[in-house]
Amino acid sequence: MTLAEVLAQDSQRLRQAPGLDLRTARLEVQILLCHALGVARSWLISHDRDALTGPAAQAYAALLTRRLAGEPIAYIVGSREFFGLEFKATPAVLIPRPETELLVELALARIPENQPCRVLDLGTGSGAIAISIAKNRPLATVTAVDQSLEALAVARENALRLDALNVRFLHSDWFGALGEEKFALIVTNPPYIETADKHLQHGDVRFEPLSALASGADGLDDIRRIAAVAPIHLEAGGWLLFEHGYDQGERCREMLRQRGFLKVETIRDLAGLERVSMGLGARKPG
Ligand code: GLN
């Protein structure tokens, strides 16, 4: 079969997978073909009359089988683009998501370009947030923590590959290993899905670490904990910014106000959904 025929046939097959439209299915088949052939997408498009044969055909068939079984494309090819950078992604870490780029943008807007600044990323996973911030603010020092050693290994590898020298990685359950350290900015994309949410049984999330997704009956266990302890670790005038579910904005704002945060607000993502809440740490945590 030619590459064009493979693309036409297999994008129809992949489209049967829940949640995949034809455009996404075509894109994913192209990504798998590129991975198997070791070529760029532009090559694929200009060589679509070539036949798919030999070891590349076998490699591609194996990749497609995994995708048809539901495994996320990012784990199959081993990487995902985030904030213009290529991050290694394994099942030890949550796959970086486009909506999380909003958190990075909001963080960057609060970090000076021309002076040092201490930033903390809680539950760094692949390191996508911490490394994106570090690359865009070379004078900042980013501390990235995770309770998973496997995740930290992936994050460290990403920092090395992307040449992010101003990130420090630490094994820590939220603030656990941070002692008295204070930061000008604390960012986090914590788990926030309700443990019983049926969404956890479908699509990519089935393959991702549950510890990065689910957080108690209302999904807010970890955010509550973070909001309670963050004031102790914020410098005067420091910000806490975190991602949450589309229907958790009001509860998150309330929680921040109760913990004494000022200038509490929620920002919507590109889909118009409440996605990131933030507050300015007050001097005396209550
Ligand atoms: N936004 C992700 C999802 O709904 C969840 C990420 C998270 O819990 N931090 O799949």
**Number of the ligand 1 atom closest to the C-alpha atom of 191:** 8
Ligand 1 centre and the CA of 248: distance in Å?
A: 12
Ligand 1 centre and the CA of 193: distance in Å?
A: 7
Pocket test for ligand 1, best of 82, 95, 97, 207 (most atoms within 8 A of CB): 97
pLDDT value at 285 more than 60: no
For 179-219, the pLDDT digits (tens) are 999 999 999 999 999 999 999 999 899 999 999 999 999 99
pLDDT value at 113 more than 90: yes
pLDDT recorded at residue 57: 97
Fold of 3-70: Helicase, Ruva Protein; domain 3 (1.10.8)
* Backbone φ, ψ for residue 80 (5° rounding): -150, 140
Q: Chain-wide mean pLDDT for the chain?
A: 96
**Number of the ligand 1 atom closest to the C-alpha atom of 192:** 8
- Ligand 1 and 31: CB distance under 6 A: no
For 11-56, the pLDDT digits (tens) are 999 998 767 899 999 999 999 999 999 999 999 999 999 999 999 9
- Ligand 1 and 220: CB distance under 6 A: no
If one looks up domain 92-280 in CATH, what number appears? Answer: 3.40.50.150
Q: How confident is the model at residue 284 (pLDDT cuts 50, 70, 90)?
A: low
For 84-102, the pLDDT digits (tens) are 999 999 999 999 999 999 9
Cα(193)–Cα(213) distance, integer angstroms: 6
- Ligand 1 and 224: CB distance under 6 A: no
Closest Cα to atom 5, ligand 1: which residue? 213
Strand partners, 82: 85
- Ligand 1 and 192: CB distance under 6 A: yes
pLDDT recorded at residue 151: 98
Cα(134)–Cα(22) distance, integer angstroms: 36
Pocket test for ligand 1, best of 80, 103, 243, 270 (most atoms within 8 A of CB): 243
Average pLDDT over residues 79-85: 97
For 227-256, the pLDDT digits (tens) are 999 999 999 999 999 999 999 999 999 999
For 171-180, the pLDDT digits (tens) are 999 999 999 9
Ligand 1 centre and the CA of 143: distance in Å?
A: 22
For the chain, domain boundaries: 3-70, 92-280
Rounded alpha-carbon distances, angstroms, from residue 192 to 30, 35, 56, 106: 33, 33, 40, 19
pLDDT value at 286 more than 80: no
pLDDT recorded at residue 282: 82
pLDDT recorded at residue 283: 64
Average pLDDT over residues 268-284: 92
Pocket test for ligand 1, best of 146, 195, 213 (most atoms within 8 A of CB): 213
120, 281 Cβ separation under 8 angstroms: no
